[in-house]
Every structure is written in C-alpha cells, then in structure tokens.
C-alpha cells in the first residue's frame, strides 16, 4: 500500500496500461512535454517517448477524430479533453461517430478508445470550465461513462476502460486531483458497470458520483452522529453500464433513496436512476425518492456562490433528515 493523490493515480493508471500494451497511445493538448495543465500526466512523455505521448494543437475535433481513426485500425488511444466543457466543441465524435460506427456498419467497425477529461466544479473557473457533463454522454447509446471518486478507482477503472472494447468517456474530477488515498501495490484492474457500497447503513440509500461521494460520506457521518440516522452510501462509479442491481439491492434494504448529483437539475443522471427505482422497486420505497442537485443554473465563479450551489454535506444531511422525519 502507498498513499497516492488522485492526480498521481491518473499517471500511474495510464503508465500501467502503456507499459502493458504498446498499442496504447496518448494524445492531447499540453499533455506531453508540459505534463498536463492539471499535472495529471507528468512524466509519461519521459517514460514512453514522443511517439506514444503526443502534444496536439488546440483542435478538439482533430484529437477525438484522430483517436477514433487510430482505434478503428488497431491502436488503443487515450485522448485528453482538457476541460469536460470542451466536449461541446467536439461533440460530433462523442454523439455521432464513436458510438454509432459499430452499429451502422453492422459490427464491422470497432472503436476501443478512452477520452479522459477534467470534469466538475470547485476551482472558481466560472460557467465554462466547471460543469459536470457526464449526463451529456450518458444519454448516447453506444458509449460507456465512468467517473471515479478515489485514487484506487482511478487506476482500476482507467485500466478497465483502456481494456474495454467500446468507447469510454472517463470523467476525472478536477477538485479531487489533490485528494489522497491508500492504493494497493502492483497492477490494479477493476470492472466497469459495478457500483460500490462505500458505507453500509440501514436507514437510507445515498447514491453519489465522483466529488459527491466524499460529500455524501461526510453527510452520512453527520447524520449518524447528530441524529442517529444510518445511511448507506453507494458510489455509482459507472453510469454506463449501470449497476442497477446494487442500487436496487440497497433500496430494498433501506427503503429510502437519495441521489447526490453535481450536475444541474434537469436530466441529471439521478433522474434516470430514480425512474428505474420507481419502476422496478416501487414497493420498496417508504417515501418519495429525493434528488439533491446543483440548481438549474450556470455555475457562478465567485467562491462563496460556487460553494453554495453545489450540494454540500450540510445540505445533503439536512435534506435527508427532513425527508426522513416528514
């Protein structure tokens, strides 16, 4: 075991896969010589050289298009889109090209690639560099969508994504890069489509993703200490494939469901999960499922404002307490 930051886990995860398979290549803006604007790719250029770790122009369409062409013809590219907000300028590849080529060609074309991207708020960057856009990708048939919350999951899920034969959009949370965790030694390979119960409990289920996982855990401890409410926290980890069995299983145990979502309200990932949980677990609910989200607004830059629009441990705890008491 070693203590590692989430940022260093990204480096270790990429390095682990590049060492394993010479067909894994990596491209993006400032990722090679500069080591990435978030310093999450430092040292890879030195380790694997200029043919495998390549700086690109500011050309997001070229980055994703080139990754796709390489993937179709035998490589396993990892492409970085610096901020997930920039997915909007290359959305054609994510919405129309990666996920449809296999289907439209009746299985002839493959597209095994990973798009890594810095997602989420907390850096006071304002509305165009802070969004949580995993739901933009979740809605597209043919994609897989992953968002790890801790260093060990970063390595294991990144490895699983690189080894996966489908296109995977891998959301790293910018506000988690500096966080630390104990990480096992040696190769780590996880499995996509598996949620994880990170805190067992019996009174309510809290579903969370990425930065919202530590916040949900903090809220759960607060509820336990102050109100004796024992929450089960489920780290969803992978939106597609979605581990509905773990989610429904937890609901069947606690009988109350809460989602904690960083995305703005409308069409957030929790809406789909709540719909499934109502449809398939209707008689397991002792009260209405509740979604705790960022309000439906662009994100403000000012620190005091950004702090209160995201779900905080205090808001999560208070919402759950009131809902259970009503």
Minimum gap (Å) between residue 16 Cβ and other proteins = 20
Residue 51 tokens read as: 């043919």
Report yes or no: 134 and 239 within 8 Å, Cβ to Cβ: yes
Site string for other proteins, 25-54 (x = CB under 8 A): x-------------------------xx-x
Active site residue 129: yes
Segment contacting other proteins by CB under 8 A, of 2-10, 152-160, 171-179, 236-244: 236-244
> Which of positions 142-201 make contact with other proteins (CB under 8 A)?
142, 144, 164-166, 193
Q: Which of 33, 34, 59, 225 binds other proteins (CB under 8 A)?
A: 59
Return d(Cα 309, Cα 131) in angstroms, integer.
Answer: 12
If binding is defined by CB under 8 A, does position 57 make contact with other proteins?
yes
Q: Report how far apart the first and last C-alpha atoms of the chain are (Å, whole number).
A: 45
Q: Which of 43, 65, 126, 300 binds other proteins (CB under 8 A)?
A: 65
Instruction: Give the helix ranges, DSSP H, for 83-180.
Output: 91-92, 98-104, 134-138, 151-163
Q: Which of 112, 120, 264, 268 binds other proteins (CB under 8 A)?
A: 112
Q: Which of 261, 238, 236 is nearest to 248 (CA)?
A: 236
CB-nearer residue toward other proteins: 97 or 232? 97
Residue that is written with structure tokens 């145990």 in the block = 253
Q: Which of 6, 9, 87, 102 binds other proteins (CB under 8 A)?
A: 102
Catalytic residue among 129, 255, 285, 296: 129
Residue 178 makes CB contacts below 8 A (sequence gap 6+) with 5, 6, 7
Per DSSP, 36 falls in state -
> Which of positions 262-291 make contact with other proteins (CB under 8 A)?
276
Residue 95: HSE in the Cβ half-sphere, 13 Å Cα cutoff: 10
CA dist list (Å): 211 to 91, 116, 160, 216, 304? 24, 16, 21, 9, 18
Site string for other proteins, 114-153 (x = CB under 8 A): ---------------------------xx-x---------
Minimum gap (Å) between residue 272 Cβ and other proteins = 10
Estimate the crossing angle of helix 151-163 against helix 6-20, to 10 degrees: 30
DSSP H/E element including 183: strand 180-183
**Binding interface with other proteins (CB under 8 A):** 25, 51-52, 54, 56-57, 59, 61-75, 77, 92-93, 96-97, 101-110, 112, 141-142, 144, 164-166, 193, 240-245, 276
Residues marked as catalytic: 129
């Amino acid at each position: 075991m070693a203590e590692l930051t989430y940022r260093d886990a990204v480096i270790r995860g990429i390095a682990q896969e590049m060492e394993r398979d010479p067909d894994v290549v990596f491209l993006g803006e400032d990722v090679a010589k500069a080591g990435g604007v978030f310093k999450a790719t430092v040292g890879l250029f030195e380790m694997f050289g200029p043919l495998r770790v390549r700086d690109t122009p500011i050309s997001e369409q070229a980055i994703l298009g080139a990754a796709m062409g390489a993937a179709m013809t035998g490589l396993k590219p990892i492409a970085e889109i610096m901020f997930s907000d920039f997915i909007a300028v290359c959305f054609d590849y994510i919405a129309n090209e990666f996920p449809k080529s296999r289907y439209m060609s009746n299985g002839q074309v493959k597209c095994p690639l990973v798009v890594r991207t810095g997602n989420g708020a907390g850096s006071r960057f304002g509305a165009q560099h802070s969004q949580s856009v995993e739901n933009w990708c979740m809605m597209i048939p043919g994609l897989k969508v992953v968002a790890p919350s801790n260093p060990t999951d970063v390595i294991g899920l990144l490895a699983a994504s690189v080894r996966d034969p489908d296109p995977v959009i891998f959301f790293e949370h910018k506000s988690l890069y500096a966080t630390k965790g104990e990480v096992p030694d040696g190769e780590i390979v996880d499995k996509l489509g598996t949620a994880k119960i990170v805190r067992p409990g019996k009174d309510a289920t809290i579903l969370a993703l990425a930065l919202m996982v530590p916040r949900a855990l903090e809220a759960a401890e607060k509820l336990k200490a102050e109100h004796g409410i024992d929450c089960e926290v489920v780290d969803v980890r992978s939106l597609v494939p979605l581990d509905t069995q773990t989610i429904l299983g937890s609901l069947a145990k606690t009988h109350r469901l809460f989602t904690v979502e960083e995305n703005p309200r409308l069409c957030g990932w929790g809406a789909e999960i709540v719909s499934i949980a109502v449809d398939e677990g209707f008689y397991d609910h002792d009260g209405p499922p509740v979604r705790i989200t960022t309000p439906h607004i662009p994100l403000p830059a000012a620190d005091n404002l950004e702090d209160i629009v995201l779900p905080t441990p205090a808001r999560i705890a208070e919402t759950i307490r009131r809902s259970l008491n009503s």
